[in-house]
Amino acid sequence: MNTPDSPEAGDDPAPAAAGERVAKWLARAGAGSRRDVERWIAEKRVKVDGTTIDTPATFVTAAHRIEIDGQRIAAPERARLWLYHKPVGQVVTARDPEGRPTVFDHLPRDLPRLVSIGRLDIASEGLLLLTNDGGLSRQLELPANGFERRYRARVHGSIDQTRLDRLMHGVEIEGVRYGPIKARLERQQRSNMWITVSLQEGKNREVRRVMDFLGLGVNRLIRIGFGPFNLDALPEGAVIEASARQVDVVTGAPGYDASGRKPGWARPKPTVKTRPGRAKPRRDAMRDDPARGGMPREETPRRGKR
């Protein structure tokens, strides 16, 4: 089918006034990923103005009526982004077949439909970014766009900084190639060590696999940053929305360094939304949290008498 807004093969790309490709439009609307949409189109499940389309190259605008399986999809809202402090024990998925608690079960009910930007496994904690825009999620996830993920890992074992520095050349583990990783040894605590890890790819369980390759067992993993966003003092289980200006910055404002903050960067507003009945952590608990650079109370060395 060639709709008025879909170019013929070999034609010049459609002008901006013609809208955007239907796969991108539906991804931004939160209907699914671009690959999902392409599959749905191949399965003849997508209609534009009542006509089944057969190509993801179809261009659409908010004026078109777009349906999936007969259900109309609302036009995408402006891209929005939230920071969530994920606790251990939650799965980053919309529905879990094993019945385990999910991140989305614990979000405030007044939030729109969200998708996660990357994932954290059930045993990991810390910063998880959420968005209402599938296109923004894809943009932030792609390693080529240079958004750095930062973690603090508590590991069991012993290693020196020289061995950690070798990770900057990348490493291959069981046929999987991992890109450059910056790892810095922070401190030793009895048989445990704290290591700060920075990487850009974020492959499945990458930090745990690399540490295991080095002979180190990870017993706590906290994501403390993603691109310009930091966990800071966000309480566990709480969520805050990034400002529209911050979203504009990560979508390509000039002068932005994806591994850090742009000059004039402002932190998200400190208003915290939690589910009813969720108690905020005590100030001393926040001070002692390793995610914020503190030391757990039971691990704080005692001072001798003067």
Residues 101 and 210 grouped into a single domain: yes
Asked which of 42, 72, 102 is the last residue of a domain, the reply is: 72
Identify whether the C-beta of residue 278 lies closer than 8 Å to the C-beta of residue 304: no
pLDDT in tens, 105-145: 999 999 988 889 999 999 999 999 999 888 788 889 888 88
pTM of the model: 0.69
Q: What is the mean pLDDT of residues 213-222?
A: 96
Of 36, 49, 54, 121, which one is the catalytic site residue? 121
176-178 and 171-173 strand pairing:
antiparallel
Residues 33 and 64 grouped into a single domain: yes
With a cut of 50, say whether residue 255 has pLDDT above it: no
Q: What is the mean pLDDT of residues 181-205?
A: 91
Residues 172 and 244 grouped into a single domain: yes
Identify whether the C-beta of residue 229 lies closer than 8 Å to the C-beta of residue 267: no
**Least-confidence region, from 55-59, 98-102, 178-182, 300-304:** 300-304
Higher per-residue confidence, 165 vs 265: 165
Higher per-residue confidence, 27 vs 46: 46
pLDDT score for 74: 85
Active site residue 36: no
Looking at the structure of the chain, the number of domains it has is 2
Asked if residue 305 is part of any domain, the answer here is no
Asked if residue 273 is part of any domain, the answer here is yes
Residues 132 and 157 grouped into a single domain: yes
Asked if residue 220 is part of any domain, the answer here is yes
CATH code of the domain covering residue 188: 3.30.2350.10
Asked which of 37, 53, 72 is the last residue of a domain, the reply is: 72
Residues 143 and 192 grouped into a single domain: yes
Residues 64 and 98 grouped into a single domain: no
Give whole-number Cα distances, 43 to 38, 39, 72, in Å.
9, 6, 17
Asked if residue 297 is part of any domain, the answer here is no
With a cut of 70, say whether residue 253 has pLDDT above it: no
| Tokens of residue 220, six digits | 């706590």
With a cut of 80, say whether residue 51 has pLDDT above it: yes
Secondary structure in 3-state letters for 183-239 = EEEEEEECCEEEEEEEECCCCCCHHHHHHHHCCCEEEEEEEEEECCEECCCCCCCCE
Asked if residue 224 is part of any domain, the answer here is yes
| Containing structural domain, residue 224 | 81-291
